Amino acid sequence: MPVDDRTFYNLKTLHWWFLAGCLLMLGATVWLGLRDADRPWRRFQSQRREAVEPWLEAARSAADQPTYAAVDVPSAHKPSRSPVFDVFDRDTGIRELHVHEFPVAIGGAVMPRVDRCTTCHAGIGDAAEGLVHNPLVSGRSVVAVRLPLPFGSAETTDDAKFDTPEALHEALGWTLIDRAVTGRRRPAVLAIRPESPAARGDLRVGDVITQVGDRAVANAAEVTRELLDVVKRLRDSASGGNTTGTGSGAAVVQVGYPAEFFPDRTVPAVVLTVERGTEPPLASHPRLDLFVGEESPHPASRFGCTVCHDGQPWATDFAHAGHTIVRDDGAVDTRSGLREWPEPMLPDSLVEARCIRCHYEVFDLADDAVRAAAVAPRAVRGYRLVRRLGCFGCHEISGYRDGERTGPDLRLEPPAVEAAESLSTEFVLPDDLSARLKSLADGDVTRIAVEQTVDTLVHWREASPLEDPIASARWNELLRLLREVPARPGTLKKVGPSLRHVGEKLSKASIRRIVDDPRSVRINAKMPRLFGVDSHLSRSQRASTQAMEQAEIACIAEYLVWKSVPSSGNGSSQVEPWKQPDSESIVRGKELFETQGCLACHTHRDYPDVSETIGPDLSDLSGRISGGRRALRWLEAWLRSPASYSPRTKMPVVDVQYSPLSTPSAYKDGALIADDPVADLANYLLSSEASAAVPEASPAAMNETIDRLFREFAASRLSDDQIDECVEKGLSAEQAAALGPGWESLVGDASLEAKARFVGYQAIARRGCFGCHTIPGFEGTAPIGPPLSDFGRKPVELLAFEQIDRYLAETEAGRKQAETPDGREYLGLLKKRRREGFLYQKLVAPRSFDYQIAETKHYSELFRMGQFALSSEDVAAIMTFVLGLTQDAPGGAWSPYGEGGQAEDAARARLMHARARPIFEEYGCDACHVFRPEQWTFRYAPEMWYPPVPRETYPIALPEVTQSQREASKRRDLAGFQSATVRGLPQYDMEGNLLEDVDEFDQPLYFFTLLEPAVIDGEVWPVGGAQLAISEPQLTDRKEAWGGRFARELHPLLLQRLMQLGATMGEAEAWGLGPPLLIHEGEAVRSDWLNEYLASPVVVRPSCALRMPRFAFSERERETIVAYFETVAQQKQRGTVPGTLEALLPRYPDSASRAAAWEKAHALLTDTKTYCGKCHAIGSRLPPDETGIVTAPRLDRVRDRLKKEHLVRWVADPKSVLPYTSMPVNFPPNGEPLDRSLFDADSRQQMAAVIDLLLHYDEFLLERAVSSDSKDESDAAMP
C-alpha cells in the first residue's frame, strides 16, 4: 500500500508556529529570569555583599592601621554586575530559619514555621564586631555633635597641625570616606582614634556628616574645606576675643576639653549635623542584647522572626510578608499585603504586644529589684491600666483553655465571694454560719470550705424554711452561686467600691452627680463616663437620648439607695445637725494626713504636687458624703474599720497615732492635749468647702420618660397586656420571684418609685456597673462585653466596622481625630479594616460604630461602652496589651517561667516578681517603700577620680568582688573615659530637692550615698563609706527608684519637724524615721516572721513617724510577697568572704562559760545610760528617751525576726547594711571595747557574746529562771 505523504496541517506553517512558541517560551523564561533576578531581596543581598561588608572590613582595617585623613572608597568594593549573574551566585539565595516548635495555624491546618525573613534582613544579627560603635544600629536619627578644635593641646602640639587637610584630619583623629555604610555617596566617618578630639566630640564610626555649621556638605572634601575655613576664621578673630559663631555658615561654641566634666581648658568646637544609624533591611536588630544572637535570651535559630513579629513566614516579598508601614501622613503603605495574609505584622508602636504571648504574667517585663529598665514598657503600662480601670469587669480575660495556661489571667473572683457576703448581710444566721460566710467573703474560697458551708446552710434552712417567695428565691439563688467554684477560680477583686451600704454614705443627689459625670466629682476618677457620650448621634436623637439618660441616672440612684443595707460599722442613721469642728482639731488632722501615709494613696487639693491615683481624691468629701454629723460618724467608722463597710477593700486599717514628730500641735509644753487622732483626721477631711449642692432629681418630674423606659425594659419578659396590668396593680410575690432579680420592687406596688427602682435595676444591668462594684442583686451576673481572651487573634470578619468611615468624614469629632498624630497612624489601619484600628477607635470613641445605625435601634439596644479619660499614650498602651491576648502561650521548656513548676532560679525570680508586683502596686506598698534604689550612671576620667576612704570593718561587712569585675570597671571608652553604675540615695535639701554644690570647675555637684556596693576604677566602694561626689555633666543616665515616692515627700517635712524639736539628727539619719527600705528584706528577715507580720503588723521601730497599716491580704497574697523576697535574696546573693560568719560566732568550752558570757552581754544590752539600753527596749526595760525619736527596735525578739547572717552583719557594722542608720559601730574590730567594768573582754569577744545572746535570748531567760529561786519579773520579755 503506497505511503500517503499528505498532512492534515501545513508543515511549514507548523514550523513557524513551533518557532513562535519556542520564542515565546524563551521570552517568558528570560522575562521570568529577569524578574526573579530583579527581586528586592537579591538587591538587598547584593547591596550588603558589595557595599556593607566591604565598608565594615575597611572600618576594621582602618581601626587596626589608622590613616587619619580623608580616604577614597575602599578597594574591597566589588564592581557592579548584572542582576542576571546573581541567579548563579552561591552567596545569593533564600535563607530559612526552621522553627518547628511554633507551628503556623492557617484556618484548620497547622503547618511548620519556616521563616525567610533573613533573606532580606541578612545582617539582622550583625553587631559589627571589632568596632567600638555599631554603624548598623537600627533606626536613622539626626543628631548634632560638637567637634572640639583644641589648638595647641597635647594632641596637636602646635596650631600648625590644623593648617593642611592632612594635618587637620590627623589632629582631629578621624578617617573620612566618601561612602556611607549603605553605599550612598556621602561623607562618613570610617575610623576614630581613641582619646582624639573626634572621639571626645561623641562622633561615632558610621556617622554621615550632612552639615558643618549650617552649610550642607556632600563629600569629604567639602567637610575638610569647611573645617579649614572655620579654623582660619577662628584665628583671624582670636585677637578680638570673640570665637563664638565665627564665620559665615559656621556654628562655633565653647566647650570644656577634654570633657565638660573634666575641663582642662576651654576650646572652640564646631557643630556638625550627622545622620546616625541604618534603616532596615540592612540594619541590625535594635535589641541584640535580647534577640537574634545565640547568646541572647531569644536566639533567632530557636525563635525565628515571625513568632514575635507576625507576618507570612514563607514570603520573600515585601507585600506578601505582611509588613505594616504607616507613613507620617497616616496612610498605610499600599505594598503592605494586608489582604494576602490574615496576620500581617503589627506596626512598630505596638510590636511589644507579642511579648505577652509568652510572658503572660507581664510584670516580668517590667523593671525589678535587679533590672532598672523595663523590657517592654508599653505592654506593662497597658497591663497596669487594664487592671486599674477594671476592663476585666465587663470583658472576660481568661488565661486558661482546656485547663492549660494560655495567656494573662484577669478574671474576677468567683461569684461565691459576693454570694457569701450577701447571705451574711441579708439573712439572720447563727454566729457560726455568719463566721463561715465571712471567711468566704474575705476571699478564702475553696471547694471543701464551700461544700461544708452549703451543706450546713441547707440543713439549717430546712429546720426554719422561708415563707416569703421572694426571700426563698433569693436564698436559693445565692446558694446556687455559692456552689459555683471553678477548679481554677479567678483572683481579682472588683476595682470600684462596694455599693452595698452606699445609702449610709451618699445621698441620691450625690450618686446622681457621680453617675452623670464621674470626673466632675473626682478629677482623677477611674470610672468611665456612661452618659452624655453622644457625638455619634444626630441632633434629634441626642435630645431624646439625653432625656432617657437623665431618667436612667435618677432611677439608678433610687435603686442603689433602696437596696442599701446598714453596715456593721455604723449605728444610727439619724441625721444630726452639723457642727463645725474647732480649728485646732483641723490643724492636727492635716498634720496626721500628711505624715500617716494618706498621701501615699490619695490626692488632695492642699497638696497639688501629689499625683498618686491608688485611692480617690479626698478634696471634696464634705460635698460627697451626706448627713451632717452622720457624715463625720461614718467617716470615723470607715477610718477605724474599712472592712466593716467593704470586706474586699484595699483600704487598710491605719494605726493613726499622735507623736511629737508627726503632730507637734497635739502637744503643749511636752504634754499631749488631744485624745482622738481619728476624729481629728475626719474633721480635716470634712473641713474643705463643699461644692455647690446638686438638686434632687424627683422621679415625678420624669414620670413619662420613666414609664417609657419601664415599658421598654419590661417588654423583654412581659406582654403588653401583662405590662398594663403590672402598671395598674403591680406584681404578686410569686410572679416577681418567677421573673427573677429586679422585679421584687413591683410586688404589690405600681407607684412611680417602684417603676423607677425596676428601671434602675435594668439600667445597672445594661450599663454593667456590677462589673466594678458589688451591688446586691447582681451576684453572678455575666459580663456585658465580649470576651477579650484571644482578641489578638480574633478574625477581622467578626468585627463590626459598620459606618465608621462616614463617622470620621462627616462628624466634627471624627475629623478632629484625624488631626492628631496617633489618629493619623491608627485611623489608616482602621480604614484598612485592621483590628488595631478597630481597637483604637473603640478606646477613643467607643460608640462611634453606632453612627447612622442608632436610628434603627431601640434605646435599650444602643452601644453602651463608657468613655474613659485616656491620654494618647494610655490608648497605645492598652492596645498593646489587648493585642497581645492570643491564648497560644507556649508551655514546657519554652515557658519563661520554667517547665512543670520546676523553674530554675532566674525563671522563678521572674515568676515571683510578676506575681508580687501587682500586689505591691494595688495596695500601694511601693508608694511608701523602696524596692530598688535609684540608679545613676556616670563617666569619669581615671586621672581625676579618687579612691574610696578605707574603713575599718569586719570581713563579713565587705562584698566579695571578682577580678573580672575590677577589670571591667577599668575599661575605657573611645574618648578615654570610664563609666560606672551605682545604686543608692542622692542627698536632698530641706525642700526635697537634690542638694547641689559646685565642683572646682563651677559645675553643679551632687552627693550620692551607696545602698549597694560598687566597683569604680578597679576599687570597691562599700556601703557605709564616703558619699560619691558626681557633677551634672558626668551623669549619662538616671533611673528612678522603684517605690518610695511618699518616703521622699515625707523626708523634708520630717527634717523641718526635727529642727522645731531641736533634735540633733542629720539629713541622712532622718530617712530612718520614714518607711523603711525593702531592698534587703529577703536577706534580713525570716520568712515565717514576715508572713505573720503581714497578717498582723506590730511595732518594730517606735521612732518611725507612721505605723505599718494592717492590709486585708489574703493568705495567697501573703505567701506571694514572702516568696518574692526570698527569690530576690537568692538572686542578689550578696557575696561575702567564705568563713566570715563562723569566725564571728563564739565557741565556749562549756555551758557555764556560755552562761557567764550571756550575763555580761546582758549587762551591756540593758545599760540605759551609755550602751544598747539607751535606745533599745529589752523585756520590760524601756529607753529613757521621752520623745520616742531615738527609740530603736526591741532586742528580746530579734531572733524571731532577723536571719542569723544579717544579724551578725548588722551588729558588726550597721552602716554596711543601712548607711543612714544612727546606730554606731559599738564593736570596732581593732578599737576600744565597751565598758570593761560590765564585760571585761576585747571588742570581738564582746560582739560575739552579744550576738550569741540575741540569738538565744529565750534560752537565756529559761536558764535564769531555772538557776534562780524567783524569776526576775522585770526582765521578762514583753508579749
| 204 and 55 inside one domain | yes
| 148 and 235 inside one domain | yes
The confidence score (pLDDT) of residue 25 equals 94
User: Residue 1273 pLDDT > 60, yes or no?
Assistant: no
Position 243 confidence tier, pLDDT thresholds 50, 70, 90 = low
Say how far apart CA 1063 and CA 1055 lie, in whole Å: 10
| Main-chain phi, psi angles of 840, to 5 degrees | -60, -45
Mean pLDDT value across residues 192-208: 93
Q: Around Cβ 777, how many Cβ atoms within 10 Å?
A: 18
Say how far apart CA 609 and CA 510 lie, in whole Å: 27
Say how far apart CA 1236 and CA 1243 lie, in whole Å: 10
Task: Give every CB contact of residue 1067 below 8 A, 6+ residues apart in sequence.
Answer: 987, 988, 995, 1055
Q: Is residue 319 part of a domain?
A: no
DSSP string over 782-822:
PPSSPP-TTGGG--GGGS--TTHHHHHHHSHHHHHHTTSHH
Say how far apart CA 165 and CA 433 lie, in whole Å: 94
| 1037 and 1164 inside one domain | no
Say what the pTM is.
0.92
User: Residue 79 pLDDT > 50, yes or no?
Assistant: no
Picking from 1072, 983, 990, the residue whose alpha carbon sits closest to that of residue 1028 is: 983
| Main-chain phi, psi angles of 520, to 5 degrees | -75, -20
| 55 and 182 inside one domain | yes
- Please answer whether residues 907 and 898 qualify as being in contact, where contact means their C-beta atoms are separated by less than 8 angstroms: yes
Q: Around Cβ 479, how many Cβ atoms within 10 Å?
A: 16
The confidence score (pLDDT) of residue 504 equals 84
* R_g of the chain, CA atoms, integer Å: 37
DSSP string over 883-899:
HT--S----GGG-TT-S
| 659 and 594 inside one domain | yes
Place of cell 477610718: 639
Q: Is residue 1252 part of a domain?
A: yes
- Residue type for position 613: T
The confidence score (pLDDT) of residue 393 equals 95
Mean pLDDT value across residues 523-547: 89
Say how far apart CA 372 and CA 381 lie, in whole Å: 16
| 1235 and 1212 inside one domain | yes
Among the residue ranges 611-625, 724-738, 773-787, 991-1005, the one predicted with the least confidence is 611-625
Element (H, E) at 336: none
Say how far apart CA 110 and CA 1134 lie, in whole Å: 49
The confidence score (pLDDT) of residue 1278 equals 38
Task: Give every CB contact of residue 442 below 8 A, 6+ residues apart in sequence.
Answer: 647, 648, 1112, 1114
Say how far apart CA 827 and CA 1114 lie, in whole Å: 44
pLDDT tens-place string over residues 1145-1201 = 888 888 888 989 999 999 988 888 778 888 888 887 888 866 667 678 989 889 999
- Please answer whether residues 278 and 48 qualify as being in contact, where contact means their C-beta atoms are separated by less than 8 angstroms: no
The confidence score (pLDDT) of residue 1204 equals 92
C-alpha cell at 69: 585623613
Q: Is residue 64 part of a domain?
A: yes
DSSP 1238: T
Among the residue ranges 42-46, 519-523, 659-663, the one predicted with the least confidence is 519-523
Say how far apart CA 339 and CA 453 lie, in whole Å: 57
**What sign has the CA pseudo-torsion 1040, 1042, 1046, 1051?**
negative
Residue 281 preceded by cis peptide, ω within 30: yes
| 61 and 2 inside one domain | no
Output 444 or 761, whichever has higher pLDDT: 761
Residue at which a domain ends, from 977, 1012, 1045 = 1045
Element (H, E) at 1055: helix 1045-1061
**Domain of residue 1220, CATH code:** 1.10.760
Say how far apart CA 141 and CA 146 lie, in whole Å: 16
- Please answer whether residues 805 and 814 qualify as being in contact, where contact means their C-beta atoms are separated by less than 8 angstroms: no
Element (H, E) at 1207: helix 1204-1212
Say how far apart CA 190 and CA 131 lie, in whole Å: 10
| 680 and 614 inside one domain | yes
Q: Is residue 18 part of a domain?
A: yes
User: Residue 900 pLDDT > 60, yes or no?
Assistant: no
- Please answer whether residues 977 and 1040 qualify as being in contact, where contact means their C-beta atoms are separated by less than 8 angstroms: no
**Domain of residue 590, CATH code:** 1.10.760.10
DSSP string over 340-371:
T-SSPPPPGGGGGGGHHHH-TT-GGGS--SS-
**What sign has the CA pseudo-torsion 921, 922, 923, 924?**
positive
C-alpha cell at 65: 592601621
In the three-class reduction of DSSP (H, G, I as helix; E, B as strand; rest coil), residue 265 is classed as strand
Residue 280 preceded by cis peptide, ω within 30: no
Could you tell me the CA-to-CA distances from 1217 to 201, 957, 1137, 1207 in Å, in that order?
41, 8, 16, 10
Say how far apart CA 479 and CA 427 lie, in whole Å: 12
Residue 9: domain span: 1-37
| 1191 and 1263 inside one domain | yes
Q: Where are the alpha helices (DSSP H) in 970-1109?
A: 1045-1061, 1081-1084, 1087-1095
Residue at which a domain ends, from 676, 695, 714 = 695
C-alpha cell at 393: 469587669
The confidence score (pLDDT) of residue 1275 equals 46
- Please answer whether residues 285 and 302 qualify as being in contact, where contact means their C-beta atoms are separated by less than 8 angstroms: no
- Please answer whether residues 730 and 746 qualify as being in contact, where contact means their C-beta atoms are separated by less than 8 angstroms: yes
| Main-chain phi, psi angles of 608, to 5 degrees | -65, -20
Position 1270 confidence tier, pLDDT thresholds 50, 70, 90 = very low
pLDDT tens-place string over residues 560-573 = 999 998 876 554 44
DSSP 412: B
Say how far apart CA 490 and CA 409 lie, in whole Å: 8
Could you tell me the CA-to-CA distances from 667 to 592, 664, 674, 1259 in Å, in that order?
13, 6, 8, 42
- Rounded (10°) angle between helices 752-767 and 703-714: 60
1026-1046 in b/e form (b: 16+ CB < 10 A) is ebbebbbbbeeeebebbbbbb
The whole-chain average pLDDT of the chain stands at 86
Strands 1004-1010 and 978-986: antiparallel
- Please answer whether residues 1024 and 957 qualify as being in contact, where contact means their C-beta atoms are separated by less than 8 angstroms: yes
Picking from 616, 620, 683, the residue whose alpha carbon sits closest to that of residue 646 is: 616
Position 550 confidence tier, pLDDT thresholds 50, 70, 90 = very high
What are 719's strand-pairing partners?
none
Say how far apart CA 567 and CA 421 lie, in whole Å: 12
The confidence score (pLDDT) of residue 697 equals 53
| 658 and 715 inside one domain | no
Q: Is residue 984 part of a domain?
A: yes
Q: Is residue 957 part of a domain?
A: yes
The confidence score (pLDDT) of residue 580 equals 65
What are 1038's strand-pairing partners?
936
C-alpha cell at 971: 575599661
What are 70's strand-pairing partners?
176
The confidence score (pLDDT) of residue 647 equals 80
- Please answer whether residues 952 and 1049 qualify as being in contact, where contact means their C-beta atoms are separated by less than 8 angstroms: no
User: Residue 202 pLDDT > 70, yes or no?
Assistant: yes
The confidence score (pLDDT) of residue 165 equals 86
Say how far apart CA 323 and CA 310 lie, in whole Å: 9
User: Residue 730 pLDDT > 70, yes or no?
Assistant: yes
The confidence score (pLDDT) of residue 693 equals 52
**What sign has the CA pseudo-torsion 950, 953, 954, 960?**
negative
The confidence score (pLDDT) of residue 639 equals 92
| Structural domain count, the chain | 7
| 195 and 62 inside one domain | yes
Strands 174-177 and 70-71: parallel
Place of cell 536571719: 1203
- Residue type for position 134: N
Residue at which a domain ends, from 276, 294, 316 = 276
Could you tell me the CA-to-CA distances from 548 to 486, 694, 763, 1212 in Å, in that order?
39, 19, 11, 74
Q: Is residue 294 part of a domain?
A: no
User: Residue 155 pLDDT > 50, yes or no?
Assistant: no
pLDDT tens-place string over residues 746-803 = 998 888 999 999 999 999 999 999 999 999 999 999 999 999 999 999 999 999 999 9
Say how far apart CA 841 and CA 284 lie, in whole Å: 34
pLDDT tens-place string over residues 305-350 = 999 999 999 888 888 888 887 666 656 665 544 456 888 899 889 9
Element (H, E) at 1001: none
| 642 and 736 inside one domain | no
Position 163 confidence tier, pLDDT thresholds 50, 70, 90 = confident
Could you tell me the CA-to-CA distances from 724 to 701, 721, 731, 987, 1078 in Å, in that order?
21, 5, 11, 76, 67
Q: Is residue 814 part of a domain?
A: no
Residue 1149 preceded by cis peptide, ω within 30: no
pLDDT tens-place string over residues 586-620 = 999 999 999 999 999 998 989 988 876 788 888 88
The confidence score (pLDDT) of residue 572 equals 44
C-alpha cell at 899: 517547665
Say how far apart CA 1171 and CA 200 lie, in whole Å: 55
